[in-house]
Amino acid sequence: MTLQEALLYPLPGGFVAWQAAAALVVLLGGYGLAKRLLRQPERQHPFMGARTCGGCGWRGNVSRFNDVCPRCGRNFT
C-alpha cells in the first residue's frame, strides 16, 4: 500500500488518517492557546516599582526605598 492509498482509505475505526491527524493538531493547538490565555500575569514585588530619574531620564524598576539613580547618582523625582 502506498502512502497515498494509506491516506485515502479509511482506518478500521471509520476515520480517515488525515482527519485524525488534523483533529490531533487542532486539539494540541487549542490546548496550547488555552494555557497561554489562562496564565496569570506575573505580580510585581510590593516594594519594587518603576522610577524615573530627573537628571538623566533613566527609567527602571528599583526598590521604593532607593532614592538614588544607578546611572547618574541623582535623586529620583
Residue with grid cell 494540541, as numbered in its chain: 28
Helices (H), 15-68: 17-38
Residue 8 clears pLDDT 80, i.e. is over it: no
Domain ranges (residues) in the chain:
47-72
Identify any residues that bridge with 17 across adjacent strands, giving them in sequence order: none
Secondary structure letter of residue 69 according to DSSP:
-
Query: What's the pLDDT at 13?
Result: 58
Query: What's the pLDDT at 44?
Result: 63
pLDDT band, residue 72 (cuts 50/70/90): very high
Q: What is the pLDDT of residues 18-71, one digit of tens each?
A: 777 888 888 888 888 888 878 766 666 667 778 888 889 888 888 878 888 889
Query: Whole-model pTM?
Result: 0.35
